Amino acid sequence: MTANVVRTRIEGSVGHILLNRPEVMNAITVELGAQLERALRLLAPAVTVIVVRGAGGNFSAGGDFGELRRLREQGRAALAPLFDNFGRACALIARLPVPVVAVVEGYAMAGGFELMQACDIALVHENAKISDTHLNFGQVPGGGSSQRLPRLAGRQRALAHILTGDRLTGAEAVAWGLAYRCLPAAGFEDAVAAFAERLAGHDRGALETAKRLVYEGLRLPLDEGLALEREHVIEHIVGDAAGAAIAGFAGGEGSRA
C-alpha cells in the first residue's frame, strides 16, 4: 500500500497541502511528487486559495538521497520519474486558477527551495533557512532553480547563489523578490491564517484572471501584455460578479470617498 506522504484538507475556501515526511524533513521522492500534483489538481476546483507547507517544522530539505541512490543504480530510465513527477507538480502551479501560497519555515533546501520558487506567493518564517544546496553535494539543480531563480532574482544573484549554496534568511528572501513577507515567530500561524483568509475572501474569478494576466504577460512584450489586460478587464467588468461588487461599492461608503 502506498504511503500517504502528502495530506490535504479544506477549511472554508482555503485548501491545505501538507508534505508529510517529517522524519526526513519532507524529502522529495517519486511518490511525493506524484501525490503533490494530484493534491493540487484535487483542491483547485474546490477552493479559492491553496496553502502548501511541510510537516514537523520544515518545508522540505530537497531530494531524498536514499531514493536517489537506489534509482541511480537502476539507470537513467529509473531516475526520470523523480524529476518528471516533481517538475509536473511545480509547473502545474502557474496554470492553476487559484493562488498557491508556500508557507516556509525551517529548512527549504534544493528541491524544497525550488518548490518555494514555483509557488505564486511565499510567506517565510523569520528563522527559515533557504538555499539551493545542489552544488554543495556535487549535484546540479533538477527542479527548476537554474531557470526560475534567474527570472525571479536576476542572473548574477541566481548564478552566484547556485554556485555557492549560501543560505538566505527570510528577510533576504524578501529582499531578493523570492518571498512576499518575512513573518516573525511570534504570531506566525495567525499571520499565515489571516493572509490565506484575506485571499480567500476575494472573488474567485477576479483572482483567476489577475493571476493569468501576470503569468501570460511575463511572456509577452509590454504593449501586447497591456492589450491583453484591457481585453480581460472589460470582459470581467461586464460579468455578474464584478457588477454586483461595483453596485455595492457605489451604493456604500465608496460613493462618498
pLDDT, tens only, 66-104: 999 999 999 999 999 999 999 999 999 999 999 999 999
Give the span between the Cα atoms of 253 and 3, in whole angstroms.
Answer: 53
Q: Which pLDDT does position 15 carry in this prediction?
A: 98
Q: Which pLDDT does position 249 carry in this prediction?
A: 57
HSE on the CB side for 256, CA within 13 Å?
A: 3
State yes or no: pLDDT of 256 exceeds 50.
no
Closest CA to 121 of 147, 108, 103, 105: 103
pLDDT, tens only, 9-27: 999 999 999 999 999 999 9
* Interior/surface letters 123-157, b for 16+ CB within 10 angstroms, e for the rest: bbbeebbbbbbbeeeeeebbbbbbebbbeebeeeb
Q: Which pLDDT does position 257 carry in this prediction?
A: 44
State yes or no: pLDDT of 255 exceeds 60.
no
pLDDT, tens only, 99-142: 999 999 999 999 999 999 999 999 999 999 999 999 999 999 99
Give the span between the Cα atoms of 108 and 115, in whole angstroms.
Answer: 9
Residues 6+ apart with CB under 8 A from 48: 13, 14, 98, 199, 200, 202, 204, 207
pLDDT, tens only, 208-250: 999 999 999 999 999 999 999 999 888 887 766 655 555 555 5
pLDDT, tens only, 152-201: 999 999 999 999 999 999 999 999 999 999 999 999 999 999 999 999 99
Q: Which pLDDT does position 235 carry in this prediction?
A: 84
Backbone angles phi, psi at 220, to 5 degrees: -115, 155
State yes or no: pLDDT of 151 exceeds 70.
yes
Q: Which pLDDT does position 234 carry in this prediction?
A: 85
pTM of the model: 0.92
Instruction: Specify whether the CB–CB gap between 132 and 115 falls below 8 A.
Output: no
State yes or no: pLDDT of 33 exceeds 60.
yes
Q: Which pLDDT does position 214 carry in this prediction?
A: 96
Q: Which pLDDT does position 243 carry in this prediction?
A: 57
pLDDT confidence tier of residue 145, bands split at 50, 70 and 90:
very high
Please report where in the chains the cell 537502476 appears, as a residue: 74
